[in-house]
Amino acid sequence: DTEKLVDTFARVYTPIVVLTALCMCTFPWIVNHETGVYWTRTGLITIVVACPCALIISTPVTYVAALAAVSQKGIIVRGGQHLELLGRVKRIAFDKTGTLTQGVFQLLHFETTTTTTTTTRRRSRKEVLGILALVEAPASHPLSDAIVRGAAKEQVDVPSTKQVTNHTLLPGEGI
């Protein structure tokens, strides 16, 4: 976003500065030599001072510096736009389960919701957790492991009378 904003600004700003400086360097010569010299010098100073080069180059340099700093801390960020988005974050929620520090997921809270249908009976929370553990057991994803461990920790009976059929593991696609 910032890079696009700077580019858009420079597209308008640069021609205005160059045109202004060009007018400052040419038209005063009509008056006399001394005025022409003064305004040519002023026009050249205007181009140097008002040059958007520093503005244009500051964005990529800032991105590179920030990416280098976070990579030294072992964090990989795909680009400057992601850093910009991170700068707009107002709140961050951390869990205390060790997910971020140890990479271990835990099932802390599991709740079912009800829907009003006449064709299906309402299943209890333990029943739903048991069926979910049955479906997730063959998967190797850490979240699946957390669900299976959570069901075991709560001593939920995984239905032995039911069997999962047509269960395909698609890496990165869920169940």
So which residues are the catalytic ones?
A: 95
**Residue 77 structure tokens:** 């960020």
Nearest to 143 by CA among 157, 132, 128: 132
Cβ neighbours for 95, distance < 8 A, ≥ 6 positions apart: 108
Phi/psi-derived region of residue 172, left when phi > 0, alpha when psi is between -120 and 50, beta in every other case: left
User: What CA–CA distance (Å, rounded) separates 123 from 129?
Assistant: 10
